[in-house]
Chain A
């Protein structure tokens, strides 16, 4: 067993910060890497050691395998944690890390390769009795072949990037005449997001829920699942609100899905943390979608209800330790919800809104967790995914968690750029969300053409006036004499000490 002492975190933003914090708690030295766009990023501020890896464009920095491995060697790191996105699910990277004599904190390269190749992995899983969505498995077809496949499966069909996830390179096509342009667009997006333009087609199941199971596997053949996360609330096929437990699952169904996820893990000999994604239809059928071979963005909600730390578990497993708990020790305790805070404009089709954050105030209180990558004064660069932070709340039940989330969002102040916070609040207040009717079509069904009211309360102008007056170099009348601060005794008391 290898005790890890220093870890390079090959990522940026909130997930890099989250991993760095876990490393520090474990007494492991974190090394951060950064591009030109991130020299003042929060993960850089938190790390113990830092290394510059190049220009802002991901291909020249965070996706540059050679530079990252050189940085790890230069700093004498024993391991690399890839976070999510970027190189996290790139088998060449995992292999290169191992070839450099370092530990890759994640699954084996061959597992990533197999599960990244949806075609090959699906066949293996079908053989193991895992239920799959009707679809085709071939990639790299000619346009004619894609058309034939789509006809065979039946419209609507979904085009997906073979190399990726996270909604990048994904398109739904309802009719044959739209297929060609959709495939081309998906290929372009896939190439720029993953460096691989392969796409494939499968049957698009309407009105499904997205329910996934968190799994862990170790080097000793132990596997556990940590129950489900429901991630049906998605915009542009990217999750924005996740919760656990799912309102759709009975205990019987939950255990059935958990067992299926473990079967998937066993079939491929999975090591580390992973997520087995399923589509869950209105009849209670579930279909295997894919395995995300990384720590997931929404992992905190699982941590909140199971009282486990998945990142620390990943590190421990990478050191060669068995999973630190048994399946029968796990229970879901209460309810957790996560909202992803994005720099984007929900009124304009979620257009990204990078720029300078003038001011941030985070909510706090019982049951509130924030995994963040921002602070007052930071410049949000336009080169990366627009996620700023994640707000996670825990409640004794779903309603308590929901109310807590709404209040926390109201007290999450981000000035200087647009965020989706007001939009998230409206989703959480929606009767269909309250009722637990959360399908992946929730946003197009219930939030289409969402707009903030044009009206502005007069209090806003009062605040602006107060701001103007208090920042103007020659202040006029200060608002109210009675409320004016009296002399501060702590400043005027002079030299003093506490004697008891």
Chain B
């Protein structure tokens, strides 16, 4: 029996894998289901069930991330481990927003300065990538603690550009 927790976006899934004779058993958030599988190619898996139904799942893995596809929908899952944080370089901290670009690009405009009060949804920085300007916004009402990029900078993915601290971080109950 193997137990793991997978994270997808904001949802967590507790998954237990077991076997029952020559059947595999997967329990997701408390729901059990038995199946057989067959590897068709490295990334294609045919799941079959005792009621005659079947399901084809495509799976690939890159570092700690699983990419899956079935029936017109894609899924990205990460197995929750102790040794790393979900988005790589940046540690998650309650009430602090590290604004990062998910892809490399160029800083076009910085819209705030350290010490500025910002409202939820307010634009903080504009980054150009793939010929599109992307504006990154504040997740909550807060104060700009740090600005680590200037216009014209070439930036890497997942590197903090602006740091915003929530107004409700301390003090309020």
Contact = CB atoms under 8 A, between A and B. Distances in A.
A343 B130 CA distance: 10
A456 B31 CA distance: 12
Contacts of A465: 15, 17, 24, 26
A358 B60 contact: yes
Contacts of B140: none
B73 interface: yes
B171 interface: no
Secondary structure dominating the interface of B = strand
A174 interface: no
Interface of B: 6, 8-11, 13, 15, 17, 19, 22-24, 26, 28, 31, 33, 35-39, 42-45, 47-48, 55, 57-62, 66-77, 102-105, 108-109, 128-134
B75 to A, nearest CB: 5
A462 B128 contact: no
Given A413-B58, A462-B57, A466-B57, 19 more contacts: A351-B132, A351-B134, A352-B103, A352-B132, A354-B104, A358-B60, A359-B58, A382-B129, A386-B130, A415-B43, A415-B59, A452-B73, A456-B13, A458-B28, A462-B24, A470-B39, A470-B45, A483-B37, A483-B38
Given A352-B132, A353-B102, A471-B61, A461 B47 contact: no
B131 A421 contact: no
A192 B103 contact: no
A236 interface: yes
A365 interface: no
Chain A CB count within 10 A is highest, among B42, B43, B72, for B72
Interface in A349-396: 349-356, 358-359, 361, 382-386
B153 to A, nearest CB: 14
B62 to A, nearest CB: 6
Given A354-B129, A456-B75, A480-B23, A463 B70 contact: yes
A422 B103 contact: no
Interface string A408-451: 01100111101101100100000000000000000000000000
Chain B CB count within 10 A is highest, among A189, A384, A422, A461, for A461
Contact of A356 (B44, B47, B62): B62
A459 B73 CA distance: 12
A384 B130 contact: yes
Given A410-B71, A459-B57, A463-B47, A189 B102 contact: no
A419 B72 contact: no
A304 to B, nearest CB: 23
Contacts of A415: 43, 58-60, 67-69, 74
A378 to B, nearest CB: 13
Nearest to B154: A57
A51 to B, nearest CB: 23
A384 B109 CA distance: 20
Nearest to B8: A456
B70 A480 contact: no
Contacts of A383: 130
A410 B72 contact: yes
A355 B43 contact: no
Nearest to B33: A458
Given A361-B58, A410-B71, A416-B60, A480 B108 contact: no
Contacts of A467: 43, 45, 59-61, 66
12 contacts: A185-B133, A358-B60, A425-B72, A459-B47, A461-B26, A461-B28, A462-B45, A462-B47, A463-B37, A463-B47, A480-B23, A480-B37
A479 interface: yes
Contacts of A193: 131
Contacts of B47: 459, 462-463, 466
A178 interface: no
